Amino acid sequence: MTACTYKQLQAEASLSMQFWDDPTVDGFHGLLMTPKPMIRTSDHVFQLCELVKLQSSCKKLNLLSELMDHSGNYVHTALPFILSLLQRGLGERIHLLTHSLSPEPEWSVESDAPKHKAQPPLSFGLLLNPELATSVLERGPSADSPKAAEFRQLWGSRSELRRFQDSAITEAVLWEGKSMCQKQLVPKQIITHLLQLHADIPESSVRYVGAMVDDVIKTGSEEPSTGEEESLLVVQSYDDLSRKLWRLEDLPLSITAVQGAHPALRYTQVFPPRPLKMDYSFFDRDKPSRSLVPKEGKPCPAYITPITVICHMEGSGKWPHDRLAIRHIRAAFHIRLGELLKKHHNYTCRPGPTHLDVWKTCWWRLFSCSLRPLLLLGNYRPYFSVISPPPWSHFWLCFFFSFFFFPTYFCSFSRSCERISRCSSVLHRWASFASFICSLPLTGGTTRW
């Protein structure tokens, strides 16, 4: 048993105790019935393919006596030293380093024993520390420290003296990584460098599985990116816009909350909207409609995906009870909001009856939201060819359709559940009910709203 296997056993035992002590988790099925292959329990996985290269590793690491103890099995001989080398190099970038070892081969007594190079590749798994795994700088001891020589011996030519902002001069290693997709492969750079330097294992013998999907979603020719930088720019622009919305005055109803409702604001958009600088030579300005009209013969303008933002308005007892009047008030609110953003921040705004489009680095689509439209849903009375449900069920049925067809009201759901006590009793059952009822077709007649 290697030291890494012992640490893995400790980590699995600690995780198992957490499963057994948690009454909300099916610990028996999760621990004893669910397989856990390395590809599912590790963030990054790599393999050593050409095991015959480990013969030269044993010579360079001076492991000839250990090789005799293992009866010439250079795989078992070099493995503990490779694990120790990788553990030193990766350091705090990983929480756990695991490995797989092929079982002892079996052969007939009438045939020769199989060669060690015929064993399957060695597999290694990395459980990364997300806070330090993508750091491109490995800072070492100061130049006059006794540990500086050990640091230079570990990293070889990659180690160099650097002066930092705190006036300290220390040994350091700088890895390549301009974009986030390159920083995610810093552990690969460390592994290939250490194996080549200390074990004579070339990079071609290392099969690394860490960011294979990035090649499919990379965009940009100069500095390829997978969307992390663009998502960060979108979030920063959203924070700036939300602060400016909070500080707006002279609004008929003040804004009580600003909520983003777009995958890019949750870092889950594969291709987030990119900042786009428009070429106004391709357009003619239409002053009456305050819009840009593409010129004839010019290329079609690029499509810009709007980013949805929901602005919650304060409650008021002066709201009308007519749905059409509420829509007119919301349209007037969009017009006034666009005027203030144009006046104070010089943003290009396009108000509409349902939303307000704002141009700030990218297109922002602002929806105004209040509790009144949700409460009015309880007054709707749909008619079916079947027996009508109880009156209170009208609210839930209408809200179900508005939940899927009018996402503007989605962010007000949590607020309505806080203010309406009867809603909060079924809040935890709503998610499972919605996913179930969505798969059922409406039969037996048509719906009239």
- Reduced 3-state DSSP string for the chain: CCHHHHHHHHHHHHHHHHHHHCCCCCHHHHHHHCCCCHHHHCCEEEEECCHHHHHHHHHHCCCHHHHHHCCCCHHHHHHHHHHHHHHHHHHHHEEEEEECCCCCCCCCCCCCCCCHHHCCCEEEEEEECCCCCCCCEEEEEECCCCHHHHHHHHHHHHEEEEECCCCCEEEEEECCCCCHHHHCCHHHHHHHHHHHHHHCCCHHHEEEECCCCHHHHCECCCCCECCHHHHHHHHHHHHHHHHHHHCCCCCCCCEEEEEECCHHHHCCCCCCCCCCCCCHHHEEEECCCCEEEECCCCCCCCCCCCEEEEEEECCCCCCCCCHHHHHHHHHHHHHHHHHHHHHHHCCEEEECCCCEEEEECEEEEEEEECCHHHHHHHHCCCECCCCCCCHHHHHHHHHHHHHHHCHHHHHHHHHHHHHCHHHHCCHHHHHHHHHHHCCCCCCCCCCEC
Between these two residues, 316 and 306, which has the higher pLDDT value? Answer: 306
Residues 348 and 414 grouped into a single domain: no
Residues 294 and 353 grouped into a single domain: yes
Residues 303 and 397 grouped into a single domain: no
At a CB cut-off of 8 Å and minimum separation 6, what does 443 contact?
Answer: none
Residues 293 and 190 grouped into a single domain: no
Residues 101 and 203 grouped into a single domain: yes
Average predicted confidence (pLDDT) for the chain: 79
Give the mean pLDDT of 92-98.
93
Domain count, the chain: 4
Q: Which amino acid is at 144?
A: D
Question: Do 245 and 344 contact (CB within 8 A), yes or no?
Answer: no
The sign of the torsion formed by the CA atoms of 211, 215, 217, 220 equals positive
Question: Do 307 and 234 contact (CB within 8 A), yes or no?
Answer: yes
Residues 203 and 302 grouped into a single domain: no
Residues 423 and 364 grouped into a single domain: no
- Assess if residue 166 is contained within a domain: no
Please give the Cα distance from 164 to 162 (Å, whole number): 6
- Assess if residue 146 is contained within a domain: no
Give the mean pLDDT of 346-371.
87
Compute the radius of gyration of the chain from its Cα atoms.
31
Question: Which pairs from 250-254 meet CB under 8 Å and 24+ separation?
Answer: 250/340, 251/333, 251/336, 251/337, 251/340, 252/332, 252/333, 252/336, 253/313, 253/314, 253/316, 253/333, 253/370, 254/313, 254/314
pLDDT surpasses 70 at 224: no
Report residue 196's pLDDT band, with 50, 70 and 90 as the boundaries. very high
State the pLDDT at residue 128.
93
Residues 21 and 39 grouped into a single domain: no
pLDDT surpasses 80 at 55: yes
Give the mean pLDDT of 377-381.
51
- Assess if residue 156 is contained within a domain: no
- Assess if residue 442 is contained within a domain: no
CATH of the domain at 86: 3.30.70
Top-confidence range, 342-346, 358-362, 406-410: 342-346
pLDDT surpasses 70 at 57: yes
pLDDT tens digits for 313-330?
887 777 777 778 888 888
State the pLDDT at residue 101.
77
Residues 23 and 57 grouped into a single domain: no
Question: Do 259 and 410 contact (CB within 8 A), yes or no?
Answer: no
- Assess if residue 238 is contained within a domain: yes
CATH of the domain at 287: 3.30.460
- Assess if residue 143 is contained within a domain: no
What is the extent of the structural domain holding 301? Answer: 229-370
> What pairs with residue 142 in β-bridges?
170
Q: Could you say which of 319, 336, 370 is where a domain stops? A: 370
CA angle 239, 242, 246 (to 5 degrees): 140
CA distances from residue 32 to 24, 28, 98, 250 in whole angstroms, order as listed: 17, 6, 20, 63
pLDDT tens digits for 200-220?
899 999 999 887 777 777 776
pTM comes to 0.70
- Assess if residue 124 is contained within a domain: yes
Neighbouring C-beta atoms of residue 409, cutoff 10 Å? 20
Residues 213 and 117 grouped into a single domain: yes
Residues 416 and 318 grouped into a single domain: no
- Assess if residue 264 is contained within a domain: yes
Please give the Cα distance from 57 to 75 (Å, whole number): 10
Please give the Cα distance from 91 to 71 (Å, whole number): 32
State the pLDDT at residue 429.
47
**Sheet (strand 206-209) strand order:** 94-99, 122-128, 44-48, 206-209
Question: Do 307 and 273 contact (CB within 8 A), yes or no?
Answer: yes
Residues 57 and 199 grouped into a single domain: yes
Find the distance separating the first CA and the last CA of the chain, reported in whole Å.
Answer: 70
Please give the Cα distance from 404 to 237 (Å, whole number): 28
Please give the Cα distance from 103 to 36 (Å, whole number): 18
Distance of CA 219 to the CA centre of its chain: 17
Q: How many residues does the chain have?
A: 449
Report residue 195's pLDDT band, with 50, 70 and 90 as the boundaries. very high
Neighbouring C-beta atoms of residue 69, cutoff 10 Å? 11
